[in-house]
Structure 1
Amino acid sequence: MAVSLYQIAVDAHDPAQLARFWARVLDWQVLSEDPEEVVIGADERTLPGLVFMPVPEGKAGKNRLHLDLAPDDQAAEVARLLALGARRADVGQGPDVSWTVLMDPEGNEFCVLTPKKLPA
């Protein structure tokens, strides 16, 4: 039996707003939107995507799962993400780490890594 990762689900107080933030971050597009979910992805054929689903409560505590972004230029990407509405976050990472921890507009932590050489 084959299995593949289809989507990563994100609880959100305002799914449409958070989906649009992440679409700008990843240079993705909104693929579908209704009151129960907003789906973004690179395109309709590329997996996985992110699906944002409404919840009444706000985020509480540190994320148990987070996204790592691997840009070509970490400093430039951090500046771009801050301009899009991200905020810096302190999750106890200390001053000597090679990544930058940010939060999206609803407080979900994510990391911006130093440039990585990805496999071809």
Structure 2
Amino acid sequence: MASQWENLVVDARDPARLARWWAEALGYQITYEKPDEIEIRRTAEELPGLVFVPASEAKDLKNRLHIDLRPSDQEAEVERLVNMGARHVDIGQGAGVGWIVLADPEGNEFCVLKQRGPV
């Protein structure tokens, strides 16, 4: 029997603030909120979700796991996310790659990919 992917858990200095940032970025909604845990999902019934929990230390190294976003317009989405508080980061990706690396307000890296071409 296989497992079902329920959530991706994100350690955060300010879980509620970061959860709300990601909910706005992804068009998700808050589906559960307690002082030590806040979950967002596309809909209450749809998995997986993102769960934000408290972390006592700040992030200081490159993520080993990150989210990739694929918008219909990469340039417009990067501009929107930067206007929301994301920032450009260099993790050694080099020039000419099909993605742009950003970091959320707590420094967690994620990629904004180019639109997928015909398969």
Identify the TM-score tier after normalising by the shorter chain: over 0.9
TM-score, normalised to structure 2, is: 0.96
Q: 1:108/1:118 Cα in 2 relative to 1: closer, same or farther (>3 Å)? A: farther
- SS of corresponding position for 2:101: strand
Superposed displacement of residue 3, structure 1: 1.2
Output one character per residue of 1:28-86: Cα deviation in whole Å (capped at 9) or x when no partner: 01111111101000111100000000011000210000000000000000001001110
Gaps of 5+ in 2: none
TM-score, normalised to structure 1, is: 0.95
CA RMSD of aligned residues (A): 1.4
For residues 66-85 of structure 1, the aligned pairs below 5 Å read 66-85=66-85
AA of the residue aligned to 2:80:
R
1:18 is matched with 18
Identity score, percent: 54
For residues 46-61 of structure 1, the aligned pairs below 5 Å read 46-61=46-61
Count of residue correspondences: 119
Superposed displacement of residue 2, structure 1: 3.1
Gaps of 5+ in 1: none
For residues 1-120 of structure 1, the aligned pairs below 5 Å read 1-116=1-116
Output one character per residue of 1:1-42: Cα deviation in whole Å (capped at 9) or x when no partner: 231100000000000000001000100011111111010001
